[in-house]
Structure 1
Amino acid sequence: MFSNLAIDVALGLIFIYLLYSLLASIVQELIARLFNARARVLTKGLRRMLEDDDHSGDLGFFGRFTFFNFFYELGWSVVYFFQPFKNSPFLKQFYQSPAIRYLGENSAAARPAYISPAIFSQTMVHLLRGPHKDNQLSDADAIRECLAQNSLQLSADTLAHIRDLFEDARHDITAFRLLLEAWFNETMTRASGWYRKHTQAWLLILGMGIAAAFNVDSIAIARILMKDKSVREQMVQLAMSRQPQYAAITDTLIRKNVLHRDSAFFRTDTTWKVMVRDTSLIGVYGMLRNDLGDAKNVLGISRACVTDTTATGLPVVRCGFTHPYQRNGWLIAAGWAMTALAISLGAPFWFDLLGKVVKFRSAPPPNTTVTGE
């Protein structure tokens, strides 16, 4: 057993960050479901593919600066939240096609959260081909005529790219579909990154709220763990005893796509079976709540109200921070900020780090020889 002060303090902090990261991830997942966030990011990715979704020219000279573009695009994100098909006639037609329309879970979540590459390419071919009629043009001729006349009113850049893909396929429908699927896969890889960025931003916001609500002051916690041996030992024992259980929880939530590591934004199936059930989330939340209570009791960081008597003899109730390590308001704010940043890294990061620290702590000290009888 290899143990020292620095390792035990790090283990305690990592365990606390893991607990609150899981809690923030569960809240973030519920928010994502409430606003159908995955479907909205998927729509954004398809808009980038099928429409000329570039508003930088609207700002003129200011469009050269990232600062102004950021807020301008943020405004358009709000517009697209309420009007997802604004200025996007072909995108609307794409979503109204039967192959896509019936992938939604219900009327409240009409747009699907996942679309397979095969479904995308099939839908594109159907739209470009138009209504199929016997003894008429072949599929390749129908697509060539549609692209030549732009009967679907595709935007200029999208039309040019699809024409190039069709020419690269030498007007072969099978090859054309493969090129469409490769295009879709590449864009959805980017969409996965966009969703992870959105998730990390939400985790940062939730992390700050959790840190303030639960008074998770990283600076004060580190000082407590360094100074109080009994508290440190209790926290280490709690972390090492819970590590196997959280291994199963973290692995399950990653596979269910609640926690994000390197998840693609599309799946081979287009159902909602990959989503973890609400009952499972509630069960995980119950376990987290118990462990968070134990951790808080061990650390002893809490707010309290005291009654002071003023000069007039009237009692005044004052509520605030009572722990001796939380006397400086700026240090408390800095401790909360550190906690929020730690939570934004995500539960998979802290779980992996927890496993490595536990393994290192459990390893025999260096220069230890094992003798046999």
Structure 2
Amino acid sequence: MFDSAILEVAIGIVFIYLLLSLMCTALREGVEGWLRTRASYLENGIRELLFDSEGTGLAKLLYEHPLVYSLFPGSYASPASGQTAGLFTRGHKLPAYIPSANFAAALIDIIGRGPSPADGAATGDGKEHPNARATHPISIADVRAHIATIGNPSVQRAVLAALDTASGDLEKAKKNLENWYDSAMDRISGRYRRSTQGVLFWLGLFVAVGFNVDTISLADYLYRNETQRGAIVAQAGSIARDAKGQASSYEDVKNQIASLQLPIGWDFLFQQGSKDRASRLAAEQSSDYAPPGGRTLVDDLRPAWDKYHAWLMKPLGWLLTAVAITLGAPFWFDILNKFMVIRSTVKPHEKSREESSEDRQSGAAGMPGAPPATIQIMPPPTSVPTPSAELEPSEDSHDDGCEVEVTDATPDNELPAAQGGVI
């Protein structure tokens, strides 16, 4: 069973992690809105999917197709040769999301009718596409007949595989292309999430060092201060009960952390530990001080630990904070809810001891767990004995004194009440 203080310290630490994760997520969204890194990852994934690393062939035609071009303002600019998306790659005004249906329809239209009219509907060799001016619906036969015009053998092979498994149904062929696109985007999304965690780690490390958010110092402070621990647990409980009460902006999180009055910031550095070390060093330097049980190796190493432990523990506390922030606010919100449930089941048993039930008390005189005693009502006898048989004394019995002669008896009304007299 968890100790109540340790459980409340854990709740306080998780609550701080939740607030810091919200803060860093807000910062990350601000950086994302400026750089549009998500759009750069999408563009890089489409170039990889269409085997167009330079962005001058089929990827450019796709972005300039009306079904995709309408999703973003501006125009498509080919990236630098071999450029890949990174943590701080700018996506400019490219779309951050392209629906799979738009991708499949645009690719089928590019193959069946050629590039968009804005580009002159010209193929790779500069000639007009044979089906550029056709107004009839595109069929699978049109796609097969003009697939060589895109000049991309790898994409040709993928599209032909989608057509072969469609059994002559163009809608099914489009669905196959959508699945091909979605599987590639799943891989790109995983890559983007990993980069986001990297950004959150560096933001978390910046916040941890800049605001001196040391996990180890926080845990020690909460364990020693019951009042602050209770206040932060109460606030964490209100957040766990109502998710709408979470801070959603950087300023809200900053104000909420400031209201907790925790040892966060450089003003609190070493305050709690310095008092304890000063009192201990003063006691050790006194002439009559003698360590209990004799001097040990720990006593010899303690001065060096008191002098240098901050240089070891502080970076470790900052690193723990930064790593925790990378897990994200949803993760810590779920952990906080679980801890609050555990606390709600532990706390009532600590306030009052569990009383034993009445059944247990009645069976305490007998065997443990004995069933409660029952009262049995006996039925009346079938035959009633005669009074003579019950009241007739034996011949040899004179115990009742009925045959003793009594002389000079005192009447009942003359006896005192204590001796049975009648008043």
With normalisation by structure 2, the TM-score equals 0.62
- Equivalent AA in structure 2 for residue 90 of structure 1: L
* CA displacement at 1:9 relative to structure 2: 0.6
Query: What is the percent sequence identity of the aligned residues?
Result: 29
* CA displacement at 1:197 relative to structure 2: 1.1
Aligned to 2:149: 151
State yes or no: 1:333 paired with 2:329: no
State yes or no: 1:210 paired with 2:175: no
Change in 2 beyond 3 A, CA 1:344/1:229: same
Cα RMSD after superposing both structures: 2.9
Native 8 Å contact 1:42 1:191 kept in 2: yes
CA distance in 2, matches of 1:234, 1:171: 68
Aligned to 1:190: 187
* CA displacement at 1:87 relative to structure 2: 4.7
Task: Please give the per-residue CA displacement for 1:68-127, whole angstroms capped at 9, x wherever unaligned.
Answer: xxxxxxxxxxxxxxxxxx354211111011111110156795321112121111111111
Q: Which has the larger radius of gyration?
A: 2
Equivalent residue pairs, number = 287
Give the counterpart of 2:265 among 286, 302, 308. 302
Aligned to 2:244: 248
CA distance in 1, matches of 2:218, 2:250: 23
- Equivalent AA in structure 1 for residue 43 of structure 2: T
Change in 2 beyond 3 A, CA 1:140/1:224: same
Aligned to 1:34: 34
Aligned to 2:342: 360
Native 8 Å contact 2:216 2:313 kept in 1: yes
- Equivalent AA in structure 2 for residue 323 of structure 1: Q
* CA displacement at 1:129 relative to structure 2: 0.6
Change in 2 beyond 3 A, CA 1:341/1:138: closer
CA distance in 1, matches of 2:326, 2:64: 37
Aligned to 2:333: 351
CA distance in 2, matches of 1:356, 1:119: 42
Unpaired runs of 5+ in structure 2? 76-90, 115-131, 275-308, 358-423
- Equivalent AA in structure 1 for residue 17 of structure 2: Y
Pairwise mapping of residues 198-237 of structure 1 onto structure 2 (< 5 A)? 198-237=195-234
Aligned to 2:271: 323
Give the counterpart of 2:71 among 103, 118, 126. 103
Aligned to 1:17: 17
CA distance in 1, matches of 2:70, 2:142: 26
Change in 2 beyond 3 A, CA 1:87/1:138: closer
Native 8 Å contact 2:52 2:58 kept in 1: no
* CA displacement at 1:353 relative to structure 2: 0.6
Aligned to 1:293: 258
CA distance in 2, matches of 1:244, 1:301: 26
Structure with the larger RCO, 1 or 2 (CA within 8 Å, 6+ apart):
1
* CA displacement at 1:187 relative to structure 2: 1.7
- Equivalent AA in structure 2 for residue 35 of structure 1: L
Aligned to 1:257: none
CA distance in 2, matches of 1:370, 1:144: 83
CA distance in 1, matches of 2:186, 2:109: 24
Native 8 Å contact 1:47 1:88 kept in 2: no
Unpaired runs of 5+ in structure 1? 54-85, 251-280, 305-319
Change in 2 beyond 3 A, CA 1:338/1:218: same
CA distance in 2, matches of 1:32, 1:202: 10
CA distance in 2, matches of 1:227, 1:322: 14
* CA displacement at 1:228 relative to structure 2: 2.0
- Equivalent AA in structure 2 for residue 184 of structure 1: Y
CA distance in 2, matches of 1:110, 1:214: 35
CA distance in 2, matches of 1:294, 1:137: 65
Task: Please give the per-residue CA displacement for 1:168-201, whole angstroms capped at 9, x wherever unaligned.
Answer: 2244321210100111122222222122111111
* CA displacement at 1:284 relative to structure 2: 2.8
CA distance in 1, matches of 2:345, 2:192: 38
* CA displacement at 1:206 relative to structure 2: 0.5
Change in 2 beyond 3 A, CA 1:119/1:15: same
Q: Secondary structure at the match of 1:113?
A: coil
